[in-house]
Chains A and B, each alone.
Chain A
Amino acid sequence: MAQQMKKSIHLKINNQSHELSVEPNQVLLDLLRDELGLIGTKGGCYLGDCGSCTVIMDGRPVNSCLVLAVQADGKEICTVEGLERGGELSTIQKAFMEKGAVQCGFCTPGILLSAKSLLDQNPSPSVAEIKMAISGNLCRCTGYQKIIEAIQTASKVQNRPDKQEP
């Protein structure tokens, strides 16, 4: 007797509160894209393998295709749309542009969020730590080298005393 009753959830997405009514079998990824129009988050494999759907949930990067929307009740979510500050791209986004770390761009939102989460916890990561942090995000253009360089650049810029981001 599978019941399909909508559930009410309350969550914060990119610092904005939302009161939503969701299907119990809807995943967070589909909620973001289909209901809220936040299409920066990409759906790739829907199996937790590719990382293109990465969002930050309560400070930790996760595959939004594996989180039911109802499980996100009470959580704080950050998507790629939440990275900009006052209409300007974040330091990490600028570093990706500067270093040519974006090829087709499909993996980029996910990698930006894995990178943000890394730099939030570890402002000066080693190359090994950067590789580990993005190991759940596949780039099939095989552009990892530029991505690693971009994250290193972002780390250096963020660590400059005049460039402390909130």
Chain B
Amino acid sequence: MADLGEGVKPLAGGTDLIVNMRKGTISPDNVISLAKIERLSIMDCSNGLLRIGACRRVSELLQSDEVAASFQALCQGANSFGSPLIRNLATIGGNLVSARPAADLPPPLMAYGASALLKNTSREREVSLKEFFRGPGLTAMKPDEILTEISIKKPPPNSGAGYIKLSVRNAMDISIVSVAAFLTLDDKYEIIQSARVVLGAVAPTPMRAFQAEKLLIGEKAGEALFKRVGEAASKECRPIDNFRGSAEYRRAMVAVLTQRTLFMAFKKAWRNK
């Protein structure tokens, strides 16, 4: 890849690259398959860290017991992704490097505080997903780098997360709005110790709602608080009008979905009690 330069595209699941090549939106000079690089297919959950190779299929996330047990919101993201046919091809890495603002995996991954491992021929670096996305189709990756794996720290037991995607159809659809929320509670399961709220399809990149998150820290979890936080997130997002929904509608839905996903996260944490 380093030798071929700019006109080269790595091929993983192909559900984005092959479609765009067929539509003629991109015409790379060379396409390089990543299929035979074993390291890109790791799946390891030891020492409190989940590591997923970039070429793992979305459907494989749904078959993993570790993901089901500790990363419920990631399962919810994977489950609302395309269709079973697409999930059997599309990869977790591909969904990140394509950097679509409405993609289904970035919000839950960011909610869990995931980072991406980027590698070129000489070195490796780790980038938090919150710094990874730079705009529609744009990432922090350099042209000579590939994404090798995604790593997520296993959340403590007194925590939970939730993801909701709002779309017209239940399958093969692009989000109008999506929200992922993550909460860690104190030992009594009452006071919120840390929180992440991630909004999809309402800005050029998936975005953290930092102002909304601040309102949660140190507070007692509950419906009234979650409602206030939803309203704050709604003010923070920067949606556009398009055929999928108006900016006004998206803002209103951010408020509702933030409230609901926080409640999901809270309930999940409680179930671990």
Contact = CB atoms under 8 A, between A and B. Distances in A.
Interface of A: 1-2, 24, 27, 46-49, 51, 54, 57, 60-63, 65-68, 70-71, 114, 132-133, 135-137
Interface string B1-28: 0000000000101110011001100000
Contacts of A67: 14, 89
Interface in B6-60: 11, 13-15, 18-19, 22-23, 29-31, 33, 35, 59
B85 A51 contact: yes
Contacts of A24: 31
Contacts, number: 70
A114 B14 contact: no
22 contacts: A1-B29, A2-B30, A27-B18, A47-B22, A47-B23, A48-B15, A48-B18, A48-B85, A49-B172, A51-B83, A54-B85, A61-B84, A62-B85, A63-B86, A66-B18, A68-B11, A68-B14, A70-B33, A71-B14, A114-B84, A132-B171, A136-B83
B160 interface: no
Interface in B181-237: none
Given A2-B29, A2-B30, 10 more contacts: A47-B22, A49-B172, A60-B59, A61-B85, A62-B89, A66-B18, A66-B89, A68-B33, A132-B84, A136-B86
A71 B89 CA distance: 11
B106 to A, nearest CB: 20
B226 to A, nearest CB: 28
Contacts of B84: 61, 114, 132-133, 135-136
Contact of A71 (B30, B33, B171): B33
A85 B182 CA distance: 51
Contacts of A70: 33
A66 B15 contact: yes
Interface in B77-108: 82-86, 88-89
Q: Number of contact residues on B: which range applies?
A: 20 to 34
Contacts of A68: 11, 14, 18, 33
A160 to B, nearest CB: 26
A143 B31 CA distance: 40
A63 B172 contact: no
Given A2-B29, A62-B88, A68-B14, A136 B82 contact: yes
Please indicate which of the listed interface residues B13, B15, B23, B83 has the most CB atoms of chain A within 10 Å of its own CB.
B83
B246 interface: no
B272 interface: no
The 4 closest A-B pairs by CB, nearest first: A136-B83, A135-B171, A136-B85, A60-B88
B171 to A, nearest CB: 3
A46 B176 CA distance: 25
B14 to A, nearest CB: 5
B35 A135 contact: no
Contacts of B83: 51, 135-137
Contacts of A137: 83, 85
A70 to B, nearest CB: 7
A135 B172 contact: yes
A137 B83 CA distance: 9
Contacts of A136: 82-86, 171-172
